[in-house]
Structure 1
Amino acid sequence: MKQIGVYNWTLPAWAGRLPDGRTYNTCPSAGICRQVCYARHGTYLWPAVRAKHHSNLQFVLDDPDGWQQAMLAELAAPKFVGRWIRVHDSGDFFSDDYTTRWLRIMRDRPEVNFYCYTKEIDRFRRLVEPDPPENLLWVYSYGGTQDHVIDPQTDRVADVFPDEEAIAAAGWSSQEASDLLAVLGPRLVGVPANRIPHFLRRLDGRRFSEWQAEVDAERHTRRGAAAVRAITSAPSARRRDRTDRRQAA
């Protein structure tokens, strides 16, 4: 990433446990993406890498003011002028306070460019979209529990596809040549799936948006069936049913 002038800030991906025993979830709106998350595979699992990600999160949680000042101090270095920071190579904007602090950092460092992928659509609608920093660009990504509030007609959106051929066939634009194309290229962003064999088997030729839609539909069906069972098994419902049968007799 540094070859194209991009630096990363990262957290541990999705849910886990810190060394002190605290649990966390840095991707509260993760959906099917967590089943094929590249940041829960390979080098991300190396002890040194994992320890660094945990350290970043602990700093944010334990001393948010200190973390914010440390970020401002680091980003004041000349090497960041005109460069790009990808916020969250893994992890996401997990709380309102954390998101608001990032917005302050961005406004206080206007000479640095920032971008991100996020599945925290509702949080961005409330906190970012009304008055975004001029040096922030973002793309909403499919595969989360808030997919249903993404508007592909107006939002900049990213979807993971099985391969480059599937991206082209859908008429979307790949960001494979440079990750910055996710925010600087055409609005419909195609991301080719990582070539991790067991991840590809789970993806099964689908886009993230398609897979998430299937899961959401199945969940909706189960909830509907559970609601019907709860109603029909309620004591009042059983009494009404017995009364109806007696009257019919």
Structure 2
Amino acid sequence: MTIARPTRLLTQNRRLRAIGVWNWTLPAWAGRMPDGRTYNTCPSAGICRDLCYARVGTYRFPAVKAKHEANLAFVIDDLAGWEQAMLAELAHPRFAGRWVRVHDSGDFFSDDYLTAWLRIFRARPGSNFYCYTKEVRRFRRLVEPDPPPNFRWTFSYGGTQDHLIDQNHDRVADVFPDSAAITEAGFASQEVCDTIAATGPPRIGLPANRIPHLMARQGPVRFSELQAAADRRRARRRPVAQEERRAA
């Protein structure tokens, strides 16, 4: 089965349209495309896998899911062609001086994919780009030594690389159970405007989406706390597993 390539790459949902921001997105986390291929666009996802807003609701509508999977197939099948198509689209005057959010869902799942984006950022200095990411190691290696001046990134908690985040020096984002918890923790709320991730204070709080079963699963804590607890459980199990392998 051939997956048709998208004719437009950058879109706007209602919330981003209101603030003049454009968006590029991929399907969230792991799945199977119509042609049978499996994928994982969020290889460093941790507890966020089970709390991801982009795996429920409108993101599961057939037309929306098909659009996101077509975006991913274009990247996987023809990265050079996708890069040229993105550059051509960004050359339109509508993107001059605008912000583009890279990934409403999904993440920088490979070195080659991230490197292609870095070339795009540098080739389109008249536009501005930002993202949330859990790919801390990849950004340390490929972005931080020489970041494009028109690109801003925020490390978001809830991934398997949370322990590499330095809250004293990195821009960080955490998902809180509600707005009051954001204020109490001294974070700036993303509810004000999504581009606060690029232009605002270095500690950003996102209120949990009002999806009942996800709110119940998250409880009264934030993503960083859930991930830290998961990391502690994994660390306790590791010595037991190693001892079992030695005894086998």
Aligned pairs (5 A) from 1:1-249: 1-231=16-246, 233=247
Q: Secondary structure at the match of 1:66?
A: helix
- Structure 1 partner of 2:9: none
CA distance in 1, matches of 2:244, 2:36: 39
Offset at residue 107 of structure 1 (A) = 0.5
Percent of matched pairs sharing the same residue: 67
Aligned counterparts of 2:181 and 2:84: Cα–Cα separation in 1:
44
The answer as to whether partners of 2:45 and 2:160 remain within 8 angstroms in 1 is: yes
Equivalent-residue separation in structure 2 for 1:167 and 1:181 (angstroms): 14
Equivalents in 2 of 1:226, 1:90: separation in Å?
Answer: 34
Larger radius of gyration: 1
Distance 1:109 1:153 in 2: 31
Indicate if the aligned counterparts of 2:26 and 2:105 stay in contact, CA closer than 8 A. yes
Rounded to whole Å, the distance in 1 between the matches of 2:92 and 2:197 is 26
Deviation at 1:171, TM superposition (A): 1.1
RMSD across aligned positions (CA): 0.8
Shift of 1:230: 3.2
Partner of 2:8: none
One-letter amino acid of the counterpart of residue 51, structure 1: A
How far apart are 1:228 and its partner, in Å? 2.6
TM-score (normalizing by structure 2): 0.92
Deviation at 1:229, TM superposition (A): 3.1
CA distance in 1, matches of 2:241, 2:130: 42
Aligned partners of 1:34, 1:227: CA distance in 2, in Å?
A: 26
Q: Distance in 2 between matches of 1:192 and 1:76?
A: 35
Q: Contact conserved, 2:29 with 2:45, CA < 8 A, in 1?
A: yes
Bigger proportion of residues as helix: 1
For 2:239, give the aligned amino acid. G
207-216 or 218-227: bigger deviation: 218-227
8 Å CA contact 2:131–2:154 kept in 1: the answer is: yes
